[in-house]
Every structure is written in C-alpha cells, then in structure tokens.
Amino acid sequence: MARYDFASDNTAPATPEALQALISANEGFASGYGTDHVSRQAADLVRATLDADAEVRFVASGTAANAVSLAALCRPFEAVLAHEHAHICTDETGAPGFFGHGLGLIGLAGASGRIDGPALAAALDQPDMSYRQSPAALSLTNSTEYGTLYAPEALGDLIQPVKAKGYGVHLDGARLANAAAAGFDLKRIKDLGVDILVFGGTKAGMPPTEAVVIFERALARRFDARLKQAGQLPSKGRYYAAPFIGMLQDGAIFRHAAHANAMAKRLAGLMPFKVRHPVDANGVFVEMDDATLKRLHKSGWFAYRFLDGSVRFMCSWATTAETVDALGEALKSLA
C-alpha cells in the first residue's frame, strides 16, 4: 500500500489537542452561524495570538478562505497580484474568479516562491486600460509554496508600494504556524498593512478549518452575508472554531509546527538528491528525474512533482524521526 506520509501535510491526522477541543465543544446547545460561545473564545485566542483587534471568522477550507477574502478586496473587473506559483494561481480551480464574479489573477516571478520586488514594481507601473483587469490587491504567502520564509521587513517592502496606490493586501497563511515556528513574528502582521489574513488550521493539524482574520474593519461590513452566499457560514459554526481553541490556548500549534520544521531539516540532511530551495519551514524540494520518481512510488513512498519540476516532500506534526530515517534510506537506495 502506498505511503502518503510525505505527500502533503494535509494527509496527516488531526492532533489530539484539536480533537479534544471538538469533544469539549460538543457539550450542550449553542447558537448558530458563528454567534456561539465557542466561536467567540476561538476568535479571542486568534486575536491574542496576533495581538490585534480584528474580526475573525471560521470557514471550511483554505480555498474558500482565500477566494472569499480576495472577493472582498477586488471588484469583478479588477485583478490580484500574486506569485505565479501561489496557491490561488495554480491550485484553486479559478475559485477567486468564481467567488469574485470574474476578478483576475496576475502572476509575478520570484525565486523560491517569494515575489521579486522589480516584478511587482513593473506590474504596479502598468497604466490602467479598459481592455484588461488592472490590479487592486496583492496576495502574499508565508511560509511560501516552496517552504521558504518572508521576514516581516521583506513583506513590508512588497506591501508598501501596494498600499501607496490604495490597493488591498491579502496574506495566505495556510502554513502560518510553520512560518512562526521558523521565527516569523505573528504580532508584526497587524502593522504591515495586511487587510485580510487567512490563518491556516488544516495543514497545522486540525480537522478542516481556516480562520479569516479581517484587520481592515471596513471590510467586515456584511462579510457574514458574503460567507453565507458562498456557502461558508456553517450553521454549527462552533465545530469549525473549536480546533483553534485546542491548538492556540497553550501554544500546541507552534510546538507541532516546530516539530514539522525540524523533521524537514532532518530529511534534508539525509537527502541524497540536490535540494532546490532553502528549507525554512516544513517542505523539502529536490531534483529527481521521472524514472527515479517512479521507482520511489513503486517502493511504496508517494511524493508529488511540483510546479517548478522539483519533487516535494512535506513534513507534518505527525511525522516521526523514524519515518524520516526510513524514507532517507529508501531514497539513498534509489540514488
């Protein structure tokens, strides 16, 4: 049977802390549609973690969280600037355009998933034209699709010229906990000019849930109606919120993320193939030809070929040192 331990951090089970919080939230009756006591407590913990006075909502998936957030930042005839390999550009089946009733995406170049400053500047310098979708927002990802990290200062350098034009900023934090465990200070986000943050839960070890954090309060007006129309305002909202309580109240999310990052570094140290990108968080991307990848699959280990042609190995909270070492031996035998 194929092993999916390193195929994605989505393949891992939910953490004990997240599951226990779900069980606790299951006690008794509660109001619906995110107005309940569990959702309030979870939102307070998110605010405390970010040290920010923000609106918080909980939704079912990262795709929905990103797409609904971008729809709040752009009109249908406008576009979002993002790295060309960002999740919104390559893995969401046009969801931003669907939820945004036609909003476009403009891909920007940059090494290892980080947007190149001159590429962003060139896009911002383009004149508005009636026959194309001009940008109205910037979407950033931390940690990036290639497991690399933006420092707060690097994010600020990209955000400043965008805000100077009056555009919105979205931060995709599907692996925000891994970024934090690698040294990114979450309390800096509120001062960078980010309007909406997606604080990832699923990849961090929760059952399906993501937190949408709205720093720009004006965007919160009728946001629940936007969620309802998008099918993202669940009647039993406490079950989406509860895992964040279990993971945030004593810092479990960051301990687990630090472990995942450490396992990635352990795997990189054992890797007989060339590692293509810096291992800042929980992903290892290597150069491997098709024949070797097929042999890896036949040996029982599954891994994806990624957007830049590298082969991706993702570690999670549930990755063990023993499993990393076993994969390392398998890879050595293939090399």
Q: Where along the chain do its domains lie?
A: 16-248, 253-334
Separation of alpha carbons 88 and 198, rounded Å: 12
**Of 121, 130, 203, which Cα lies nearest the Cα of 162?**
121
Would you say 70 and 99 are in contact if contact means Cβ atoms under 8 Å apart? yes
* Domains 16-248 and 253-334 in one fold: no
**What is residue 2's predicted lDDT score, i.e. its pLDDT?**
86
User: How far is Cα 270 from Cα 255, in angstroms, rounded to an integer?
Assistant: 23
Q: Which residue has the tokens 């909003």?
A: 103
- Look at the domain 253-334 and name its fold: Aspartate Aminotransferase, domain 1 (3.90.1150)
β partners of residue 218: none
Do residues 6 and 315 make contact, with C-beta atoms less than 8 angstroms apart?
yes
In 3D, which of 252, 284, 251 has the Cα closest to residue 265? Answer: 284
pLDDT at 16: 98
| Bridge-based pairing state of the strands 311-314 and 283-286 | antiparallel
Cα–Cα separations (whole angstroms), residue 161 to 81, 193, 263, 320? 12, 11, 37, 43
Closest by Cα among 201, 204, 155, 208 to 181: 204
pLDDT at residue 1 in the model: 79
Strands 78-83, 134-141: pairing kind:
parallel
- What's the confidence (pLDDT) of residue 39? 98
CA dist 178 and 254 (Å) reads 7
| Nearest partner of 181 among 315, 328, 310, 325, judged by Cα | 315
pLDDT at 245: 98
In the chain, which stretches have pLDDT less than 50? none
Tell me the CATH architecture of domain 16-248: 3-Layer(aba) Sandwich (3.40)
Q: Are 99 and 65 in contact (CB under 8 A)?
A: no
